[in-house]
Amino acid sequence: METAGKANPLISLSKGVASSLRYRRIVMKAGTSVLTASSDKLHMPTMKGLVEQIASLHSQGTEVLLVTSGAIAAGMKPLDVAGDRSHVPFRQVLAAVGQNRLMQAYSSLFESWDIPVAQALLTRRDLEDRQGYLNVRNTLLSLLDHWVVPIINENDVVAVDEIGSVFGDNDTLSALVANLVDADLLVILTDADGLFTADPRTHPEAELLPKVERIDSYIESLAGGHHSTWSRGGMPSKLEAAKVATRSGVTVVICNGRLPDVVPRIAGGESLGTLFTPTASKVESRKRWMLSGLSVNGDIVIDQGAEKALREQNRSLLPAGVKDVCGDFQRGDVVYITSLEKERLACGLVNYSAAEVARIKGHRSDSIQEILGCHYGQEVVHRNNMVLM
């Protein structure tokens, strides 16, 4: 491929090199605390180092997508104003000013490596809708096909509901992107060395957990709630992101973004930070979309017999096993299927609306036509449209 009228030597090299790296496609997330070195402005030496790491991976044939924070911090210097940093309109102003400066910085740094970049600003609504989900996926995959590095950020300027906490300083966004593009590895760069058995700032005896096979209540209890002045994340949002990614077959590493060459070293097999192993095999894109939880509109509570049929017999959910309905979903929406103990067992595309499921719950499938006066199938949720959690 050519960019700016000249061949890209890194891209030419990458296509002819047999890479020793373990991962083919990596999503790399850089949080505000990393990009600013815990200050109130972008730290250019850190950004330069991150770009050099991506260039190194690029030269070995590894596809990299960068999910970046930092727009709000980048907007502070040119405005030179004071204000309530938690006030949404003020943060939106900072993001509007800072996003351009953030991309200018990245473009300049990548240009020195002759690597083209593309900006993608996303909101939750872009990924909630099935068609929007596919459009974003197709665009990102096409960029990778052309050896372009997508630089992805949350669109804070328009996403009023998200600028506060929904994406958590882009932690959740990075997991959604990893699922979206079928990544092999998600590396979440932060100012901590990983997940510890206790807060190392107050407990010197705390030990780093090098590997986590499942994020349960104990692991979640270790997260605490610390976050920096500008960051909206913290370890809880990073664990939530790891849950989203690992249950769709993506390996996740949470590590210190200030370590030299940290991402290439991880890609080469070195143990750094905390590694979260996938809890399921990779699933096709429609099921990854359902697992993301972006478009869930309600819950269907089932009895123990139906739970056993789903888990042990790989069966569809029939109305006879339904005990209760929560939410106001419509036919074709994504719903959670939960146990009587409120454990989420699965999610899937429902064949009937909430009102219709409420009417047919506990009945045999051959009664659906008589009860509703219509019939969209014997199943409330068909097995082909369901993903166990």
Residue in the block written with tokens 């405005």: 79
Give the CA count within 13 Å in the CB-facing half-sphere of 80: 1
- Residue 293's pLDDT is 76
Backbone angles phi, psi at 148, to 5 degrees: -95, 140
DSSP state letter for 293? -
- Residue 29's pLDDT is 97
Alpha-carbon span 325 to 355, nearest angstrom:
8
DSSP state letter for 192? S
Q: How many CB atoms lie within 10 A of CB 146?
A: 11
Alpha-carbon span 241 to 254, nearest angstrom:
10
Per-residue pLDDT of the chain in tens (389 residues, 90 and over written 9): 333 333 343 443 344 344 578 899 999 999 888 998 878 789 999 999 999 999 999 999 999 999 998 888 888 777 776 555 556 777 788 888 888 999 999 999 999 999 999 999 998 778 877 778 888 999 999 999 999 999 999 887 665 554 444 455 689 899 999 999 999 999 999 999 999 998 888 888 999 999 999 998 899 889 875 444 334 558 888 999 999 999 889 999 999 999 999 999 999 999 999 999 998 777 776 777 777 777 788 999 999 999 999 999 989 999 999 999 999 999 988 999 999 999 999 999 999 999 999 999 999 999 999 999 998 999 999 998 898 88
Alpha-carbon span 87 to 132, nearest angstrom:
29
| Domains 2-287 and 295-388 alike in fold | no
Cβ partners under 8 Å of residue 312, min gap 6: none
Alpha-carbon span 110 to 55, nearest angstrom:
8
Backbone angles phi, psi at 213, to 5 degrees: -90, -25
Asked if 155 and 255 count as a contact pair (C-beta separation under 8 A), the reply is no
Residue in the block written with tokens 């989420």: 344
Alpha-carbon span 239 to 188, nearest angstrom:
10
Alpha-carbon span 168 to 154, nearest angstrom:
10
**CATH code of the region 295-388:** 2.30.130.10
Q: Strands 381-388 and 322-327: what pairing?
A: unpaired
Domain residue spans in the chain?
2-287, 295-388
Backbone angles phi, psi at 296, to 5 degrees: -70, 130
DSSP state letter for 351? S
**CATH code of the region 2-287:** 3.40.1160.10
DSSP state letter for 317? B
Alpha-carbon span 254 to 244, nearest angstrom:
14
Pick from 280, 318, 315: nearest CA to 300: 318
